Amino acid sequence: MSKIHAVLFDKDGTLFDFSATWDTWAAGVIADFAGGDSELAQRLADGARYDLAARRFLPDSPVIAGTNREAAECFAGALPNWPIARIEAHLSTAAATAPLAQATPLRPMLQDLAAQGMALGVMTNDAEAVAHAHLQQAGVSDLFDFVAGFDSGFGGKPSPAPLLAFCDHTGRDPARTVMVGDSRHDLVAGRAAGMGTVGVLTGLANQDELAPLADVVLPHIGHLSDWLATR
């Protein structure tokens, strides 16, 4: 691969540690939906593949790498009187104020990449408005050239279309771009787009799951600059 000149990041599990951010958030969302009904709370948790006792998502939860609509569909079976659009809107509103845990201090890491002339982007299966809210909350929104969600008009991962939209927007070559993510969805999309792929272990997928689809698997994105320097 030629020298990398663009990096596209997933958001949840990549820029932000998944468990530290979303496990606690989910407990609050389920309690809010359930309104004190413990049986309903359990049905909601079962639909989302969330362990109420341990307060964590199970590794096979569709919420982990899914879109906001797919997350809403996980809860819908336990909320028959709620239109899916209402559930989705509630999740978006709650997600915008989630307690974010940065996987590494983001601003210095991103500033270092930008200083090297890298184009930087975020492509998440979350909603675009939530992504902007999270990047602003983290104090890094000004460092990205492109931010897209599943609802930005390009589709969601594992389709390569939103990844190629990043390259179109920034004028960068996919072959000199890396997709960085914590899930197989991220890496499948990156491979399909003709990009390099970097897996990180700040989501729920492990080394063995990510390695077949990744050029490298890193503990977290704080190691990315050193790896890029070897390319």
Domain boundaries, the chain: 6-17+102-228, 20-95
Q: What is the pTM of this model?
A: 0.89
pLDDT for the residue 1: 47
Per-residue pLDDT tens for 85-108?
999 999 989 988 888 999 999 999
Cα–Cα nearest to 59, from 182, 150, 177, 157: 182
Per-residue pLDDT tens for 137-148?
999 999 999 999
pLDDT for the residue 72: 95
pLDDT for the residue 230: 87
CA distance 167 to 186: 16
Q: What is the CATH number of domain 6-17+102-228?
A: 3.40.50.1000
pLDDT for the residue 2: 66
Q: Which parts of the chain register pLDDT below 70?
A: 1-2
pLDDT for the residue 96: 86
